[in-house]
Structure 1
Amino acid sequence: MEMRVVGIDGGQDKKALCLSLGVDVFIDFLDVKDVVRAVSDLTDCGVAGVIVTAASRSAYEQGAQMLGIGGTLVPVGLYVQEDLALAARKQIRAEVQCFPMEQAEAVFQSKANRYKGRAALRLE
């Protein structure tokens, strides 16, 4: 699919970690003034997806600005403690259907509205 993975973090230790995990390009936000511009210089029309692992507003804002048309932002780095407290107070729960890994292809090929809530794969 000719996609490249861009890691964005700060410092040489994080660069080494990201490169060891297989990123194609590392952008150090401590050295680069305009991270969004640096990412857009690597693409023709924005990125297909952004996974935000940082719990900062600017990371989400920049991540959204990097997306191309139809791109997806995946929020991973939320304020976990606050989110859990909110969920506890509001009695929020998620509907999840779990499937064995052997059914992964069938799960991915099925229509999204087939499942109540979210589909998840067990890694056991």
Structure 2
Amino acid sequence: MFKMEVDSSKKLFTINASGFFSTQESKDFIAEYKLRTREFDPKEFTMIVNGKGLKTSTQDVAEQLKDVMKLYAKDPFKKKIIVQQASSMGKMQTQRLARDIPGFDSMLLVNSMEDALEKL
């Protein structure tokens, strides 16, 4: 499950993702992400991705999530903040997927949405 919100007054693009992603849900996520990021100039916005409630994914879905992470790294947001998954297995999966993505290491990783909001 996911939800994306654009707050133009705060120049904030927030993504909340939780649960297990299916292959179709991953495709839907990418399509909505591309659609939403055309609504504004990312250079003027901060992106917060709240993945705290995400569950560890199967290998085929993990590869699609890697494609999502590449989009995060590629898009020129003013600031990029990732709320890490709650489970240690989820964090390890994210780290494994991220190590081959140029630019992903420039994102700020935090442990809670409160921490993310403090970094604005």
Greater helix percent: which structure?
A: 2
Specify which structure has the bigger relative contact order, considering alpha-carbon pairs within 8 angstroms and separated by 6 or more residues: 2
Look at both structures and tell me which one has the larger radius of gyration over its CA atoms: 1
* Same-fold status (TM-score > 0.5): no
| TM-score w.r.t. length of structure 2 | 0.34
